[in-house]
Structure 1
Amino acid sequence: MDQASDTLALGVNAIDREHHALMSLIAKFIAYLKAEADAEVALAALREAIMAGNAHMEHEEELMAQSDYPGAEEHKLHHRTARLNYTTLMSDVFAFQAHDPALLEQSARIEAMLQHHISGPDRQFAEYLKARGVN
């Protein structure tokens, strides 16, 4: 996929790699849910996605601090919301069968929320970084 058609590519290489890895892990988790995989298999995939998501958000927040990003507090609020959504999803996977339709719906909402975050707040942050010579 070329960068022009890649909605995850924002032009900051490290962030772009992290976005691709995170979305790939979320897709893997959703595929396990759809395939009615064992709950432990789905949960392991979700744990991996959550770890990658947390590492990515911490990395972005470090970059925000280093660059004095003026939108940092609002952006961090988006990150806290994402973490709460992940936590809720993880507890739901524990509580219900992995193929529960509500889990699929919730997972799809989280995936859409991540896409929206990447195309909105993350894109704004990437533009700010690129204007300061980070790529």
Structure 2
Amino acid sequence: MGTRTAAERREESRRAYDAYLAECPARQLLDRLSDKWVTLLLNALADGPRRYAELGRRVAGVSQKMLTQTLRGLERDGLVARTVTPSVPVRVDYALTPLGVSLLPVVRAVKDWADGHIEEVVSAREAYDAGADAF
């Protein structure tokens, strides 16, 4: 195998992480980050560590199963840290890792955008649905 130039190595690296390709690891990460529970849980952890039950109360509508699965996935990806404190009952806290904190401005912006533009989106949906009924 021949020696590759720095430019060739950079190009290979760039191609290796192309989220438009189905097998790309970055695509898998985007799939996780696009989940509504991920966005809501990361935002819920923005102010500091929270216990499992607190997160369940804060994020209305999340089932125990989805809360557990989402937190495990976030922990696996290095975005959330789980701390177990031996006590009776056992205390489990979840907190953002430095990597999770670095993602916070992005997910916070998405949540804030949704909160700030929902009326426009509802109007657009109503106009679209009214037009679809005309056919």
TM superposition score normalised by structure 1: 0.31
Q: Choose between structure 1 and 2 for higher RCO, CA contacts under 8 A separated by at least 6 residues.
A: 1
Higher helix proportion (structure 1 or 2): 1
